[in-house]
């Protein structure tokens, strides 16, 4: 499906955004291996999170879905062997976290996904799980499809070469089946939803700086989980309201966990007018309403420990940088190359088509703030983050922009275009 977007004169309104994707995935998985019932409210009905539900159902978990409410009848740590190959669709979170759970089971399971998943690196998860005693056989180069042979696991000390919440979470889930404690050391803190959820479900976790220690032998108990709005989805409205003239947008009930608020820090540093109100804590997660007004931005340098806190938002930050005064440099973001698309390459090539002065580097990009884009036909590469970023670019570009394969937003935000129409 192709979609057309035209320049907007202003954006005003109060909107919700869908439930946090990371928390929705984890609530279903952890609820499945807990004892008792887990009730999840405001679950994200994106394709990725539905893939997680379908995989857990195939492993014998009874899951009821009514609108955005999910009831998970937990089976405890040990699941049933699936009669079929588990298909994770486009979801990197599903395949990587599930590998951690499957590593400690008493059966083998084969996992596969779409063409994008089959190109994404799995060695980063296979290596630590293998150190714990798991046996995983993957396609040459450590790609899916792959088979996890459940085994008795041992606790390890693992120093992660990159900060990755998916890798960390996979090891943490496997640690529940280990014979002793497991300690993970990150180079920088990545999103910590698994640590917070482990604690609320009854697991024992110690966090000391960038070290996380998990202790086996603690039963997980079903919980009520209220999923806050996803800041990665809010990011497109934050940037759009900053750039479109005469705008003021309030986004309600957004997750503002400090490991996720890099987008807010960056837009503020660039000169963006962002205010957080109604701050509170729900299920160990910080939540707030975010109000954004049109602002004059300036170029900055983005890198280091900030990158894991905004990795998914970099494509839309690149759009903001086109309209910032001066130069913006994004570095230390090699991780973008192994997302649903090579996001360094894809956002650079498509914004260039729209007239941006943007240059690809080995670990990021350099953007000269020209303050101008012109409408063109651009490609999403079936990457939801690229499609949504190009939509924001189209709102401020001269003329009309056509985005090809724009339906890929269904992966994380099925009502994305409809929500913008509300403003």
Q: Could you tell me the sign of the dihedral formed by the alpha carbons of 198, 166, 193, 28, in that order?
A: negative
Per-residue three-class SS string for 196-223: HHHHHHCCEEEEECCEEEEECCCCCECC
DSSP letter at 119 equals G
Report the distance separating Cα 19 and Cα 193, nearest Å: 13
Report the distance separating Cα 75 and Cα 182, nearest Å: 23
Residue 267 contacts residue 242 (beta carbons within 8 Å): yes
Torsion of CA 115, 120, 121, 124, to 10 degrees: -120
Report the distance separating Cα 42 and Cα 20, nearest Å: 9
Report the distance separating Cα 396 and Cα 144, nearest Å: 39
Report the distance separating Cα 79 and Cα 248, nearest Å: 48
What backbone phi and psi angles, to 5 degrees, belong to 379?
-115, 135
Say whether 231 sits in a helix, a strand or coil: helix
Torsion of CA 256, 17, 309, 181, to 10 degrees: 80
Active-site positions read 312
* Among the listed residues 54, 128, 52, 61, the one whose alpha carbon sits nearest the alpha carbon of residue 93: 52
């Amino acid at each position: 499906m192709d979609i057309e977007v035209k320049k907007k004169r202003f954006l005003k309104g109060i909107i919700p955004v869908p439930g946090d994707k990371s928390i929705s995935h984890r609530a279903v998985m952890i609820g499945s291996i807990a004892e008792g019932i887990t009730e999840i409210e405001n679950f994200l009905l994106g394709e990725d999170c539905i893939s997680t539900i379908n995989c857990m159902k195939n492993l014998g978990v009874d899951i009821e879905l009514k609108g955005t409410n999910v009831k998970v009848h937990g089976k405890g740590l040990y699941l049933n062997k699936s009669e079929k190959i588990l298909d994770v669709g486009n979801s990197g979170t599903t395949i990587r976290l599930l590998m951690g759970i499957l590593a400690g089971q008493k059966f083998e399971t084969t996992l596969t996904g779409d063409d994008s998943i089959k190109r994404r690196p799995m060695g980063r998860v296979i290596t630590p799980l293998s150190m714990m005693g798991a046996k995983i056989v993957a396609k040459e180069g450590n790609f899916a499809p792959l088979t996890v042979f459940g085994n008795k696991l041992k606790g390890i000390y693992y120093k992660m070469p990159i900060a990755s919440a998916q890798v960390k979470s996979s090891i943490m889930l496997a640690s529940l089946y280990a014979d002793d404690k497991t300690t993970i050391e990150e180079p920088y803190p990545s999103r910590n939803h698994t640590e917070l959820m482990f604690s609320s479900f009854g697991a024992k976790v110690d966090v000391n700086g960038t070290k996380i220690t998990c202790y086996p032998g603690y039963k997980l108990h079903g919980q009520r989980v209220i999923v806050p709005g996803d800041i990665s989805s809010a990011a497109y409205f934050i940037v759009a309201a900053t750039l479109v003239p005469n705008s003021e947008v309030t986004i309600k009930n957004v997750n503002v966990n400090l490991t996720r608020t890099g987008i807010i820090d960056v837009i503020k540093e660039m000169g963006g007018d962002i205010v957080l109100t109604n701050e509170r804590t729900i299920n160990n997660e910080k939540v707030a309403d975010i109000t954004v007004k049109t602002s004059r931005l300036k170029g900055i340098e983005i890198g280091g420990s900030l990158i894991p806190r905004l990795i998914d938002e970099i494509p839309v930050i690149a759009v903001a940088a086109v309209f910032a005064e001066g130069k913006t440099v994004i570095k230390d973001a090699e991780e973008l190359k192994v997302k649903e698309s090579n996001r360094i390459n894809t956002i650079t090539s498509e914004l260039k088509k729209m007239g941006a002065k943007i240059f690809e580097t080995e670990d990021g990009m350099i953007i000269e703030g020209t303050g101008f884009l012109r409408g063109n036909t651009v490609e999403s590469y079936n990457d939801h983050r690229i499609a949504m970023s190009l939509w924001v670019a189209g709102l401020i570009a001269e003329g009309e922009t056509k985005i090809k394969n724009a339906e890929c937003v269904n992966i994380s935000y099925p009502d994305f275009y409809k929500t913008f129409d509300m403003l």
